[in-house]
């Protein structure tokens, strides 16, 4: 029988381990684990036995633990809205098989020791202090540990897969091992390879790895790239749209919008055109081409050529551009 599996994602760890400063933020986590990660795991429940088959729980496949960004501490002007769009898109796309379990961020002023530039090894007690803003995520680890343990006791699942590299969750895995020994414990470390070699940005913490039956030590860029949500995810009231700042080359997107503005009526029309396969671009989508400098040059060249042709004909219509 396949192992009934549920995924427990430490959202903070996943973001900083795999997604920050990448074009992969618009991630379909259900597709990633169902189609990429779990099929790659070779785990044998008995020595010499066949690799176990794993199937995600039909009702609730993934529990995603995170917290809403505080606007006053956000790094980008669109961070709050981008997160909301992503959460809505993921919830809709997964059709109820994913649930968010929300903690919260605490923002407060704190007196912290200063590390002297001329004596960085000086003990903290001998250093002066300065008041700083301190941002901490609260409840997510506790929520994850409790939910994981409660689910293991429920009899609904045969395997838990923990996605984190946070040693704070080691006691939860240890208790799970002691109290629910029949539950298979999988561990996925949310980190990526460095450069073209096999070195990882972060190694798996041994205090976690020793408590797992199997460990997946990284997530490949190709797996993240192949597991992206559609740019537009329709919803009951409104669609959730991939934020402009989450594209690989936001500056290319901004330039495309500016260049196509005189031809198409508004940003919405431009984006509809950009998301369609274009016969004038060898069947490729402009929105995909602008993810690289070479592809962006092709799109910009096409727009410039089209505008020149329309000016030469004295025709302000955009039929051939939108029809393409």
- Mean per-residue pLDDT, 240-265: 94
Tell me the three state secondary structure of residue 228: strand
**321 has pLDDT over 80:** no
pLDDT at residue 322 in the model: 58
Structure tokens at 68: 């809403």
Q: What does the pLDDT look like over 170-210, one tens digit per residue?
A: 999 999 999 999 999 999 999 988 877 778 888 889 999 99
Q: What angle (nearest 5°) sits at the alpha carbon of residue 227, between those of residues 233 and 275?
A: 45
- Mean per-residue pLDDT, 103-129: 93
**83 has pLDDT over 90:** yes
How far apart CA 287 and CA 27 sit, in angstroms, is: 17
H/E run at residue 302: helix 293-313
Q: Which of 81, 253, 257, 291 is nearest to 89 (CA)?
A: 81
**278 has pLDDT over 70:** yes
pLDDT at residue 318 in the model: 46
Domains, the chain, ordered by start: 3-103+139-225 (3.40.50.1010), 105-137 (no CATH), 248-323 (no CATH)
**CB contact at 8 A, 255 and 261:** no
How far apart CA 184 and CA 193 sit, in angstroms, is: 27
Q: How confident is the model at residue 161 (pLDDT cuts 50, 70, 90)?
A: very high
H/E run at residue 7: strand 3-10
């Amino acid at each position: 029988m396949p192992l009934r599996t549920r995924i427990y994602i430490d959202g903070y760890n996943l973001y900083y381990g795999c997604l920050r400063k990448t074009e992969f933020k618009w991630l379909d986590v259900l597709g990633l684990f169902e189609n990429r990660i779990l099929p790659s795991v070779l785990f044998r429940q008995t020595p010499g036995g066949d690799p176990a088959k794993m199937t995600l729980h039909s009702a609730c496949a993934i529990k995603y633990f995170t917290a809403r960004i505080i606007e006053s501490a956000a790094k980008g002007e669109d961070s709050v809205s981008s997160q909301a769009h992503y959460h809505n898109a993921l919830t809709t796309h997964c059709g109820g098989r994913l649930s968010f379990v929300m903690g919260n961020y605490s923002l407060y002023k704190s007196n912290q020791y200063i590390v002297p530039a001329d004596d960085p090894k000086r003990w903290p007690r001998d250093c002066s202090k300065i008041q700083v803003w301190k941002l901490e995520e609260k409840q997510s680890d506790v929520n994850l540990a409790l939910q994981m343990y409660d689910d293991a006791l429920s009899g609904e699942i045969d395997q838990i897969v923990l996605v984190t590299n946070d040693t704070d969750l080691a006691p939860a895995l240890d208790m799970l091992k002691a109290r629910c020994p029949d539950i298979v414990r999988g561990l996925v470390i949310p980190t990526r390879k460095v450069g073209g070699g096999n070195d990882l940005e972060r190694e798996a913490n041994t205090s976690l790895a020793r408590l797992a039956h199997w460990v997946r030590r990284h997530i490949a860029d190709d797996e993240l790239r192949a597991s992206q949500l559609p740019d537009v995810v329709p919803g009951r009231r409104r669609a959730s749209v991939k934020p402009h700042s989450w594209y690989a080359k936001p500056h290319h997107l901004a330039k495309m919008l500016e260049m196509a503005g005189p031809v198409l009526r508004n940003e919405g029309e431009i984006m509809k055109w950009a998301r369609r396969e274009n016969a004038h671009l060898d069947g490729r989508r402009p929105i995909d081409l602008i993810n690289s400098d070479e592809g962006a040059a092709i799109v910009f060249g096409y727009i410039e050529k089209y505008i020149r042709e329309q000016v030469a004909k004295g025709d302000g219509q955009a039929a051939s551009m939108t029809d393409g």
